[in-house]
Amino acid sequence: MSDSTAPSRSRTVLLRGGEVHSPADPFATAMVIEGDRIAWIGTEGAADSFADGVDEVVHLDGALVTPAFTDAHVHTTATGLALTGLDLSGAPTLGEALARIRAYAAARPHDEVLLGTGWDAAAWPEQRPPRRAELDEATGGRPLYLTRIDVHSALASTAMLDLTPGVTARDGYGEGPLTGDAHHAVREAAHATLSPRRRAEAQRVARAHAASLGIGALHECAGPEISSEDDLRQLLDLAAAEPGPRVHGYWAEPVSSAKDADRIRELGALGAAGDLFADGSLGSHTAHLCSPYADAPHSTGTAHLDADDITAHVVACTEAGLQAGFHAIGDAAVRAVTDGMRRAAEKVGTDRVRAARHRVEHAEMLTEETIAAFAELALTASVQPRFDETWGGEHGMYARRLGTERARTLNPYAALLRAGVPLALGSDSPVTPLGPWETVRAAAFHHTPEHRISVRGAFTAHTRGGWRAIGQDDAGVLAPGAPADYAVWRTGALIVQTPDTRVANWSTDPRSGTPGLPDLTPGADLPVCLRTVVGGETVYTRPDE
């Protein structure tokens, strides 16, 4: 007779006949999962001894198994709304954007407020956003809130402004795109119309889409200027209750006391970090620069926090044992963050600041001095390589905003890795789409050759790097004892790609013992996700597989 009080035996699964990307065994073809952990990794011959003792055998038929990806910077509800709603990214002209708005408005007759994102006037031949009268005509006079692709400015129809009391007196209000306080007020009014049911729908769609791309974890970068406390709580509750990618939440609000830190924890957030804005964005001319914009010589952008503000926040978080972090893009903003971090280290001790693993989102305009500060203080650089893919190059938005030479300094991933700065890769979705292999490819084939990193380095930053960014060093890798978060891929031959072809040529030799990865050369077919597993539970299976 069995003891009814004994714990139930963990279910075991053997995967075999594929390529298992593992530092534990570069030639592995098989893996055993027991419950929510990896129990064993090895070769086919040894797998035979497990075959009769497991609950399930998965024949990989040559497929590649990798750790599931972690997207280290996501706005989940906004991503779901973009996937199910009005998305203007890719609209080739102003006229096409207005046509999409008309079609969306006609298709959603019962929405109290029309929500959209993704417009980028810099990519249109007209070189201007829609005027308010054009929005009013396209929506039939209905409220519309439409964020620019970087989400740092927005357009609003007249009816939307009418729903936002006092907006015309706020900083950032004008006939053009709304910025600053005016933008935040309109965003709050628009998002207040979202019902819990609509939010949950968007969150489910976003998590399901992420799972279909081999993503096993998301870092939700929430905050009072981006979403709402209700939105974060609802997302974390949904992720805890329903299968799908894990969600690790951040709340972007300044902390000045232990009481403030406790409130961050009560929200379920890992830290007072993410999009705590030190500045804005380059596309909206709100990133804070040391020297004026090339195409707006009267402006150096906007500083939302100075070094004193940053010091106070980091000290309070460090003393409370809470992770701190900031959004910083321009060189002046990044310098303010590193200056503030250094002052905090002087107050509470460098070792304590390093141990807290504070993080900086985007960190695009770096110098030798700020890179050295990142390394000295063990700051994680949470970066988005598809920003360079989208806006880099000598004819891209960065070059228009900054001039070609200054633009070439942006996103120096190789210099960060050489300095020993931990990288975590993400998308900032919906700013750029979820797509981990595309992100790895963008880092490996950066527009500026000296900033390129190896596919292996980018892959590690997009898997293990995301886990290290939240203080967990045993995850994001396929090794015995690690969490069973993995993805199965159909792909071509595995190779090793580095910026230096001499290294690549040696590394592809089997004698090197370097695990291969898919060929991500631009134009090559990307891997297709067949299955995504989180904590030993399948959260996505490709149809007809």
Q: What burial letters (b/e) apply to 148-159, b meaning 16+ CB within 10 Å?
A: bbbbbbbbbbeb
Collapsed DSSP state (helix, strand, coil) of residue 393: coil
Q: Which has the minimum average pLDDT: 59-68, 148-157, 242-251, 336-345?
A: 148-157
> Which of 267, 262, 212, 271 has its CA nearest to residue 235?
267
- Please state, in angstroms and rounded to a whole number, the distance separating the CA atoms of residues 203 and 78: 8
Q: Which has the minimum average pLDDT: 110-124, 281-295, 419-433, 456-470?
A: 110-124
Residue type, position 490, single letter: R
Query: In the numeric block, which tokens belong to residue 536?
Result: 């030993």
Whether 185 contacts 166, CB under 8 Å: yes
**What pLDDT, on the 0 to 100 scale, is given for residue 9?**
66
296 DSSP 8-state letter:
B
Asked whether the predicted pLDDT for residue 237 surpasses 80, the reply is yes
Q: Which residues contact 85 (CB under 8 A, 6 or more apart)?
A: 104, 108, 115, 116
**Fold of the domain spanning 10-67+476-490+526-539:** Urease, subunit C; domain 1 (2.30.40)
- Please state, in angstroms and rounded to a whole number, the distance separating the CA atoms of residues 154 and 190: 12
**What pLDDT, on the 0 to 100 scale, is given for residue 57?**
95
Give the distance from CA 11 to its chain's centroid. 32
Asked whether the predicted pLDDT for residue 17 surpasses 70, the reply is yes
- Please state, in angstroms and rounded to a whole number, the distance separating the CA atoms of residues 6 and 12: 18
The model carries a pTM of 0.90
**What pLDDT, on the 0 to 100 scale, is given for residue 506?**
39
Tens of pLDDT, residue by residue over 380-420, are: 999 999 999 999 999 999 999 999 999 999 999 999 999 99
**What pLDDT, on the 0 to 100 scale, is given for residue 2?**
35
**What pLDDT, on the 0 to 100 scale, is given for residue 118?**
87
> Which of 487, 466, 432, 540 has its CA nearest to residue 79?
432
- CATH of the domain spanning 76-191: 3.10.310.70
Q: What is the 3-state secondary structure (H, E, C) of 62-96?
A: CCEEEECEEEEEECHHHHHHHHHCEECCCCCCHHH
Considering the chain, what percentage of its residues have pLDDT values greater than 70? 95
The domain spans of the chain are 10-67+476-490+526-539, 76-191
Tens of pLDDT, residue by residue over 259-290, are: 999 999 999 999 999 999 999 999 989 999 99
Measuring CA to CA, how many Å separate 221 from each of 74, 251, 277, 429, 514?
A: 6, 6, 11, 10, 34
Asked whether the predicted pLDDT for residue 3 surpasses 60, the reply is no
**What pLDDT, on the 0 to 100 scale, is given for residue 153?**
86
- Please state, in angstroms and rounded to a whole number, the distance separating the CA atoms of residues 391 and 189: 30
Give the distance from CA 346 to its chain's centroid. 31
Q: Which residues contact 470 (CB under 8 A, 6 or more apart)?
A: 219, 248, 270, 323
H or E element, residue 348:
helix 331-348
Residue type, position 338, single letter: T
Q: Which has the minimum average pLDDT: 124-138, 428-442, 502-516?
A: 502-516
Tens of pLDDT, residue by residue over 30-76, are: 999 999 999 999 998 889 988 888 999 999 999 999 999 999 999 99
Residue 149 pLDDT level (bands cut at 50, 70, 90) = confident
Considering the chain, what percentage of its residues have pLDDT values greater than 90? 80
451 DSSP 8-state letter:
G
Tens of pLDDT, residue by residue over 470-522, are: 999 999 999 999 999 999 999 998 887 777 654 444 344 444 567 889 999 99
Collapsed DSSP state (helix, strand, coil) of residue 32: strand
Instruction: For residue 249, report the phi and psi dihedrals to the nearest 5 degrees.
Output: -95, 145
Residue 544 pLDDT level (bands cut at 50, 70, 90) = confident
- Mean of the per-residue pLDDT values of the chain: 92
- Please state, in angstroms and rounded to a whole number, the distance separating the CA atoms of residues 133 and 481: 60
Q: Which has the minimum average pLDDT: 29-38, 77-86, 296-305, 319-328?
A: 77-86
Helical H runs in 164-228? 180-191, 196-212
**What pLDDT, on the 0 to 100 scale, is given for residue 513?**
62
**What pLDDT, on the 0 to 100 scale, is given for residue 545?**
66
Tens of pLDDT, residue by residue over 162-204, are: 999 999 999 889 888 998 889 989 988 988 888 899 899 999 9
Residue owning tokens 């298709």 = 107
- Please state, in angstroms and rounded to a whole number, the distance separating the CA atoms of residues 438 and 379: 25
- Please state, in angstroms and rounded to a whole number, the distance separating the CA atoms of residues 233 and 197: 14
Residue owning tokens 């597993």 = 533
